[in-house]
Amino acid sequence: MSRLRLAVIGVGHLGKIHAKLAAGIPEIELVAVVDSRPEAREALAKETGARPVAHVRELIGEIDGAVVVTPTVTHFDVASELMRAGVHVFVEKPITPTVREADELVQLARRRQLVLQVGHVERFNPALVSVQDRLQEPKFIEARRQSGFTFRSTDVGVIMDLMIHDIDVVLSLVKAPLACVDAVGVSVLGDHEDMVSARLHFANGAVANITASRTSYAPARTMQVYTPTRFASIDFASRKATIVEPRLDLLQRDFHLNDLSEATRSHLREQLFSELLVKSEVPAVESNAIEQEQRDFAEAIRTGRQPRVTGVDGRDAVAVAERVLSAVRQHQWDGADSRRVGHLASPMLPLPMVATMDDWATDDTVILRRKAG
Q: Report the C-alpha gap between 198 and 365 in whole angstroms.
A: 9
Q: Which stretch binds ligand NAD (CB under 6 A): 63-71, 170-178, 231-239, 360-368?
A: 63-71
Decide if residue 100 touches ligand NAD (CB under 6 A).
Answer: no
Q: Report the C-alpha gap between 4 and 26 in whole angstroms.
A: 9
Q: Of 192, 23, 9, 165, nearest to 91 (Cα)?
A: 9
Among 25, 43, 51, 71, binds ligand NAD (CB under 6 A): 71
Decide if residue 153 touches ligand NAD (CB under 6 A).
Answer: yes
Decide if residue 121 touches ligand NAD (CB under 6 A).
Answer: yes
Site track 12-31 with ligand NAD (rule: CB under 6 A), x = hit: xxxx----------------
- Cis ω on the peptide bond leading into residue 94 (within 30° of 0)? yes
Choose between 116 and 345: whose C-beta lies nearer to ligand NAD: 116
Choose between 25 and 73: whose C-beta lies nearer to ligand NAD: 73
Q: Report the C-alpha gap between 371 and 373 in whole angstroms.
A: 6
Decide if residue 311 touches ligand NAD (CB under 6 A).
Answer: no
Site for ligand NAD in 288-307 (CB under 6 A): none
Q: Which stretch binds ligand NAD (CB under 6 A): 11-19, 320-328, 332-340, 357-365?
A: 11-19
* Angle, helices 311-330/99-112, rounded to nearest 10 degrees: 170
Among 19, 28, 63, 78, binds ligand NAD (CB under 6 A): 78
Residue 337 sits at φ, ψ, to 5 deg, of -70, -20
Decide if residue 72 touches ligand NAD (CB under 6 A).
Answer: yes
Q: Report the C-alpha gap between 186 and 258 in whole angstroms.
A: 47
Residue 304 sits at φ, ψ, to 5 deg, of 85, 5
Which amino acid is present at 12? G
Q: Report the C-alpha gap between 199 and 196 in whole angstroms.
A: 10
Choose between 30 and 206: whose C-beta lies nearer to ligand NAD: 30
CB–CB of 354/213 below 8 Å?
A: yes
Among 21, 35, 123, 181, binds ligand NAD (CB under 6 A): 35
User: Considering the complex, what minimum distance in angstroms separates the CB of residue 50 from ligand NAD?
Assistant: 14
Choose between 153 and 365: whose C-beta lies nearer to ligand NAD: 153
Site track 133-152 with ligand NAD (rule: CB under 6 A), x = hit: -------------------x
Q: Of 150, 221, 162, 211, nearest to 185 (Cα)?
A: 211
Choose between 162 and 301: whose C-beta lies nearer to ligand NAD: 162
Please work out the total of residues on this chain that contact ligand NAD, with binding judged by CB under 6 A. 24
Calculate Rg over the CA atoms of the chain.
23
Pairing of strands 116-119, 231-235: unpaired
Which amino acid is present at 317? A
**Which residues contribute to the site for ligand NAD (CB under 6 A)?**
9-15, 34-37, 40, 69-72, 74, 78, 92-93, 119, 121, 152-153
